[in-house]
Amino acid sequence: KKMGKKGAKKKAVDPFTRKEWYDIKAPSMFTNRQVGKTLVNRTQGTKIASDGLKGRVFEVSLGDLNGSESDFRKFRLICEDVQGKNVLTNFHGMSFTRDKLCSIVKKWHTMVEANCAVKTTDGYLLRLFCIGFTSKRQHQVKKTCYAQSSKVRQIRAKMVEHIQKEVASCDLKEVCNKLIPDSIGKDIEKACSFIYPLQDVYIRKVKIVKKPRFELGRLMDVHGDSGVATVGADGERVNLPDDYEPPVQESV
């Protein structure tokens, strides 16, 4: 009886031959819907490729999502469904880049931080973290602008109250639309100015603590029309379907 050689070398196979590429699609509130591509092992037997993709989290800069030159906000997008070769994502969180957080912290100022958990109208429980700094009054000569602890408590209470008011009346899509330009931070700065003048007030982080059961209809609402916007002959935006391919040119 011929026995196999103990410790015989396995035939080296390139693992990339078993993988296939999928397109990552961002929700419709962002200008650039095509985020990038991701890899997954091809469907083999009972191991389905789409199951390996669901739950994947992609971290993308808002600069890439909205086409701006530079942006310090990073959005986390989670894969919720796979349709064909498209990975449909939804909002999963937001944070600041490390360098931005370090650049806004200054000497001679008081830093005020607040956080609270708020439930949206569509059942998402979000925890939002706010940060702000005291600023000098007009024509102030004094080097420092420290706030008393009683003022800090008042500012913190005002921050929490404003965040709850802004988020509790919106669904997740509307919250994202407020986070992109950070309108909540600007409103807090204005609302707290009578307690103590503030500067650099931002929602620095958003976490999803709890989410409702997955519904395909809700995800399709977030994605809206998944057409790709391009510019027409007269300079106006034209929506094209995802599977659109330009006609083949006879000569280049």
In this prediction, residue 247 carries a pLDDT of 58
Q: How is the chain split into domains, by residue range?
A: 18-96, 98-210
What tokens appear for 247 in the block?
Answer: 């006609």
Cβ neighbours of residue 1 closer than 8 Å, sequence gap 6 or more: none
Q: How far apart are CA 120 and CA 93, in angstroms?
A: 14
How do residues 129-146 score in pLDDT, each as one tens digit? Answer: 999 999 998 898 999 999
What is the pLDDT confidence band of residue 233, given thresholds at 50, 70 and 90?
A: very low
In this prediction, residue 229 carries a pLDDT of 46
How do residues 64-112 score in pLDDT, each as one tens digit? Answer: 998 877 689 999 999 999 998 999 999 999 999 999 999 999 999 999 9
User: Do residues 54 and 79 touch, judged by C-beta distance below 8 A?
Assistant: yes
What tokens appear for 49 in the block?
Answer: 């490729």
Q: Is the pLDDT of residue 161 over 80?
A: yes
**Quick one: which of 90, 127, 135, 130 has its CA closest to 109?**
135
Cα angle 220, 229, 184; round to 5: 65
Mean of the per-residue pLDDT values of the chain: 86
Is the pTM here over 0.85, yes or no? no
pLDDT (mean) for 244-249: 57
- Domain at 98-210: CATH code: 3.30.479.30
What tokens appear for 229 in the block?
Answer: 């916007």
